Amino acid sequence: MEPVPPGVVRAIGGRFVDWLPALAVFALGLALWQGLTTAFNVQTFLLPKPTDIATAFWNDRGTLWDYGLYTLKEAAGGFAMGCSAGILVALLLARFRGLGLALLPFAIAANAIPIIAFAPITNNWFGLLNPVSKMVIAAVLCFFPTMINTLRGLTSVHPSSIELMRSYGGGELAVFRRVRIPNALPFMFTGLKVSAVLSMIGAIVGEYFGGPTNALGVSILNDSQLFDFPRAWAGIMLASAFGIAFYAAVSVAERLTTSWHPSARTFRSE
């Protein structure tokens, strides 16, 4: 629900030098983790050693990967449903401003509802084993950030831009097609990137309240109940990695479609 700062946006696909500190922190953090868990003999149920997690993942890579893909599919389905609904509603609210202004406070309040608490209910609606039950939770999580950001993009248009369109005799349709929608794209992508991460979390949480055994969330839960913590952590890391990959994929799509935006800062060398 949070616009990611330009620094982070630029970090995706930025220059290698920009990544150096992050890589250094990664190496240092990993070494510290390994060193401290070994030195202080931290119990596995608190935090397993990175090497143990890596081993657990490697031993079960095929299975865990398939589980991850299953959950990613649920997330992607929910993402597609929630984001398209969000964009459609944003278009409607931008077209009918009075309606939008009246309903917006309710949308904001609704956004404060802990949607995740509804996971048991969607499980009940669609059945525990039906992936749609997880997709719906992911979709509801994706709906708000996408809708609110897109609406903001559609409406934060300079008044003169609209006057220009009207000076050409353009109507509401022309204003949407040539001004509002292009203007909304960067805003929409901010929402989509947040949604990408949320959809993965939504799918996992949905699975926590019950799901097929070949889902990553169910696997993590089972592993931790069976005290196989390295494998549980391997699953958690994989879920996180899939979330980041989804985010990165949306970022790439953003770069391709909104390269014109000043934040892309691709000055020609002159």
Partner 1 sequence: MSVPGRVVSISGLTKSFKTGVTALQEIDLDIRPGEFVSLIGPSGCGKSTLLRIVGDLVQPTSGTVLVNGKTAHRARLDHDYGIVFQDSVLYDWRTVSRNVSLPLEMLGWSRARRKERVREMLELVELTGFESNRPWQLSGGMQQRVSIARALSFDPALLLMDEPFGALDEMTRERLNMELLRIWEKAASTIVFVTHSIPEAVFLSTRVVVMSARPGRIADVVAVDLPQPRGAETREQPRFFELVTAVREALAAGGRGQPAPTLPAGTEERY
Partner 2 sequence: MAMASVPALERHRGIRVGASRAGGALRRVGTFVAVLAALCGLWEGYKWLWEWAGWTWPFTVDDVTMPHLHDILAAFAEPTTTGGPVLIDSLLHAAWFTAKEALAGFVLGALIGFGLAVVLAHSRLLERGLLPYIVASQTVPILAIAPMVVVGLGSKGLEGWKAVAILAAYLTFFPVAINALRGLHSVDARALELMNSYAASRWKVLWRLRVPASLPFIFTALKISATASVIGAIIGETPASIQDGLGGAIVNFNQYYSLQPTFLWATNIVAAGLGISIFALVALTERVVLRRAPENVA
In the region spanning residues 177 to 206, those forming contacts with partner 1, defined by CB under 8 A, are 178-179, 182-183, 185
Show the site string, 150-189: x = touches partner 2 by CB under 8 A, - = not.
Answer: -xx--xxxxx------------------------------
The size of the chain, in residues, is 270
* Three-class SS state of 140: helix
Taking the complex as a whole, how short is the minimal distance between the CB of residue 54 and partner 2, in angstroms? 17
10 binds partner 1 (CB under 8 A): no
Q: What is the DSSP letter of 96?
A: S
The single residue among 15, 168, 213, 225 that binds partner 1, judged by CB under 8 A, is 168
Dihedral over alpha carbons 103, 108, 112, 117 (to 10 degrees): 50
CA distance 270 to 267: 8
* Three-class SS state of 3: coil
Of 83 and 205, nearer to partner 2 (C-beta) is 205
* Three-class SS state of 209: coil
173 binds partner 1 (CB under 8 A): no
51 binds partner 2 (CB under 8 A): no
262 binds partner 2 (CB under 8 A): no
105 binds partner 1 (CB under 8 A): no
* Contact indicator for 83, 148 with CB cutoff of 8 Å: no
DSSP code per residue over 239-264: HHHHHHHHHHHHHHHHHHH-TTSGGG
Of 87 and 221, nearer to partner 2 (C-beta) is 221
- Interface region with partner 1, contact rule CB under 8 A, candidates 63-71, 117-125, 176-184, 242-250: 176-184
Residue 208 contact partner, candidates partner 1, partner 2, none, CB within 5 to 8 A by sort of partner? partner 2
CA distance 10 to 263: 8
Of 97 and 158, nearer to partner 1 (C-beta) is 158
Residue 97: what are its φ and ψ, rounded to 5°? -60, -40
Binding site for partner 1 (CB under 8 A): 158, 160-161, 163-164, 166-170, 174, 178-179, 182-183, 185, 258, 260-262, 267-268
